[in-house]
């Protein structure tokens, strides 16, 4: 616990003094990408440690020290980052942080392999990204939403509206619609007047023919009367 408080105190002092990275105590360990992680809970596995510490970099190796007889964790490990600058971030941000109610101790270290060990024995294995194969073109092709506008009846004309949002409506659409309506009403009005006029001419023609027929009959009747001899003579 004393070492944890000591590191936290050093970090706080440098933060208040606005110490540059080059003058920080971390710069003394810029030649090692390893950190020591202590006070770990025994239930934590290598993958758990990698997940936690990957927040500040890319862990490449992790050696969780275990009891040779039981195989259980002894509560500390050595972790190597791909970039040594990640070590400073992990130390500054994880020191004293509780995991399973235990405050972590994180510090720089010069890690040395034991005889017979190889660094690749502790290599972090990341899952290979799944490759998408044999995907049909129909799956990759973007699909458009189907849209069928409702037909609208305008007099004897059929219209289809293609605008759902008034904000995108053509400002001339309303004018064009009103113009078509007016033309349609005028056409219907002319047709109605033409029909009435034709009917009127037909009735008038029929009336004139009837009148001529009556006058003709009357003239013939008068001629016949004039030809009748006077019986009294």
Whole-number pLDDT of residue 121:
94
Mean of the per-residue pLDDT values of the chain: 79
Looking at the structure of the chain, the number of domains it has is: 2
How long is the chain?
233
**Whether residue 10 is found in the same domain as residue 96:** yes
Q: At what angle do helices 85-94 and 46-53 cross, to 10 degrees?
A: 100
Determine, yes or no, domain membership for 111. yes
- Whether residues 180 and 100 share a domain: the answer is no
* Residue 188 falls inside a structural domain: yes
Flag whether 133 is in a domain: no
Greater confidence (209 vs 4) lies with 4
Domain that holds residue 196: 172-205
Q: Which residues contact 101 (CB under 8 A, 6 or more apart)?
A: 41
Judge whether 214 lies within some domain: no
Domain boundary among 88, 122, 156: 122
**Residue 51 predicted with pLDDT over 50:** yes
pLDDT of residue 231: 47
Query: Beta-carbon neighbour count of residue 52 at 10 Å?
Result: 19
- Judgement on whether residues 102 and 22 belong to the same structural domain of the protein: yes
Q: Report the DSSP pairing between strands 73-81 and 34-38.
A: antiparallel
Same domain, 102 and 33: yes
- What is d(CA 90, CA 76) in angstroms, rounded to the nearest whole number? 15
Whether 90 and 19 map to the same domain: the answer is: yes
Residue with structure tokens 């001419």?
A: 201
Q: What is the pLDDT of residue 163?
A: 47
Does 226 map to a domain?
Answer: no
Q: What per-residue confidence (pLDDT) applies to 232?
A: 47
Summarised one tens digit per residue, pLDDT across range 6-30 is: 999 999 999 999 999 999 999 999 9
Digit-coded pLDDT (tens) for 90-109: 999 999 999 999 999 999 99
Residue 227 lies in a domain: no
Please check whether residues 15 and 114 belong to one and the same domain.
Answer: yes
Domain boundary among 87, 122, 157: 122
- Same domain flag for 80 and 9: yes
Per the listing, tokens 């208040």 go with 16
Confidence band of 89 (pLDDT split at 50, 70, 90)? very high
Boundary (domain end) residue, out of 122, 151, 182: 122
Mean pLDDT of 171-193: 65
Q: Is residue 196 part of a domain?
A: yes
165 within a domain of the structure (yes/no): no
pLDDT category of residue 135 using cuts at 50, 70 and 90: low
CATH number, domain containing residue 84: 3.30.70.330
Q: Are residues 186 and 76 in the same domain?
A: no
pLDDT > 70? residue 60: yes
Return d(Cα 92, Cα 89) in angstroms, integer: 5
């Amino acid at each position: 616990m004393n070492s944890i408080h000591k590191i936290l105190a050093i970090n706080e002092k440098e933060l208040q003094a606005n110490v540059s990275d080059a003058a920080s105590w971390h710069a003394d360990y810029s030649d090692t990408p390893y950190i020591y992680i202590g006070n770990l809970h025994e239930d934590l596995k290598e993958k758990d440690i990698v997940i936690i510490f990957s927040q500040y970099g890319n862990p490449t190796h992790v050696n969780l020290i275990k009891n040779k007889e039981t195989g259980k964790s002894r509560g500390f490990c050595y972790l190597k980052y791909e970039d040594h600058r990640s070590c400073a971030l992990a130390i500054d941000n994880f020191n004293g942080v509780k995991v399973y109610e235990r405050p972590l101790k994180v510090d720089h270290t010069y890690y040395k392999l034991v005889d017979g060990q190889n660094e690749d024995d502790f290599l972090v294995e990341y899952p290979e990204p799944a490759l998408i194969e044999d995907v049909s073109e129909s799956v990759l092709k973007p699909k458009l939403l189907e849209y069928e506008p409702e037909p609208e009846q305008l007099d004897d004309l059929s219209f289809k509206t293609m605008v759902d949002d008034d904000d995108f409506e053509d400002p001339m659409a309303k004018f064009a619609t009103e113009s078509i309506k007016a033309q349609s009403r005028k056409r219907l009005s002319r047709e109605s007047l033409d029909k009435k006029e034709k009917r009127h001419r037909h009735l008038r023609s029929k009336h004139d023919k009837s009148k001529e027929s009556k006058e003709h009959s009357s003239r013939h009747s008068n001629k016949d009367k004039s030809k009748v001899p006077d019986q009294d003579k």
